[in-house]
Amino acid sequence: TGSDIKQIQSRNFADAKTLQSLYLRGNKIHDLPDVAFFGASRLQTLDLSDNAIATIESTAFKRLRELKTLLLGSNSLTELQPGVFDDLSDLERLELQQNGLGSIDDRLFQGCHSLTALNVSHNALKTFNVAQFERRWSFDLIDASHNKLSVVRIPPNLRQLVAIGNGIRTVESTATNGSELILLKLAHNKLTSVDEVPVFDKLITLDLSFNRIREFDFRSAARFGKLVLLKLDGNQLESVSNSLTAPITH
């Protein structure tokens, strides 16, 4: 970490057969060549954050099938090659925040069958298909804050979505039989009503602060049967009403 390493050669780690953790944070690496980590097949943690990586070849992570954590935040990535993560079947946590990504292909994570935490915040994404992560098991957290999103579609297996500081006007749910969502943070967006958020039956925290909501009726909050925290600060509310005929009991 922090050794001014500028380059990784292909097959540099050909003899690193027992290596499980590799920390290269805070260097000056500018690209990852084909089969960059070939041989380090037992690697579980790889930290490449805070470098100058602009290019990752499609086979850079080939055969890293035991890798669980991959940190690529604070680099100079503007695009990702198709198939670059295809071999990472055990990957659980992926960080891509603070790059310059303008788009992410819907098939980019199709090989990441174990992924449960993804950070793509502080990029330049105009669209990001959150619904691509609809799977049979729970997906814990997606952070897509500080991009340029206008729409989010939330799959039923996602537990937490943070999408602060976009231009979101539309929130959709792909759930047909219940949702696992417990936390939804949509502060600093362009929503005009709490009713624009679909019903999520397990939702505990809903942050809609600093949007464009002018009116609020408690009936809107009562739709969420387990809601504990609702944040509406910074909305310049002009009207707060209660059309409920019975008290909220949860």
Q: Are strands 139-143 and 158-162 parallel, antiparallel or unpaired?
A: parallel
Residue 33 has pLDDT above 80, yes or no: yes
Give me the half-sphere count of Cα atoms (radius 13 Å) on the Cβ side of residue 219.
8
Instruction: Over range 194-223, report the average pLDDT.
Output: 95
Maximum separation of any 2 CA atoms in the chain, in Å? 71
Work out the burial of residue 117: count CB atoms within 10 Å of its CB; fewer than 13 is exposed, 13-18 middle, 19 or more buried.
middle
For residue 10, what pLDDT is reported? 87
Distance, CA of 179 to CA of 154 (rounded, Å): 9
Q: What is the pLDDT of residues 121-159, one digit of tens each?
A: 999 999 998 888 888 788 999 999 999 999 999 999 999
Give me the half-sphere count of Cα atoms (radius 13 Å) on the Cβ side of residue 50.
10
Instruction: Over range 207-227, report the average pLDDT.
Output: 94
Topology (CATH) of 1-99+115-120: 3.80.10
For residue 235, what pLDDT is reported? 96
Residue 245 has pLDDT above 70, yes or no: no
Q: Which among 186, 185, 241, 187 is positioned nearest to 214, based on CA atoms?
A: 241
Q: Give the residue, 14 or 122, on which the prediction is more confident.
A: 122
Q: Which among 211, 245, 217 is positioned nearest to 231, based on CA atoms?
A: 211
Q: What is the pLDDT of residues 230-242, one digit of tens each?
A: 999 999 899 888 8
The amino acid that residue 250 corresponds to is H
Residue 248 has pLDDT above 70, yes or no: no
Distance, CA of 56 to CA of 34 (rounded, Å): 8
- Per-residue confidence at 1, pLDDT binned at 50, 70, 90? low
Q: Give the residue, 242 or 73, on which the prediction is more confident.
A: 73
Rg (CA), the chain: 21
For residue 249, what pLDDT is reported? 60
Provide the 8-state DSSP code for 133: G
Q: Which among 109, 127, 110 is positioned nearest to 118, based on CA atoms?
A: 109
Per-domain boundaries in the chain? 1-99+115-120, 125-250
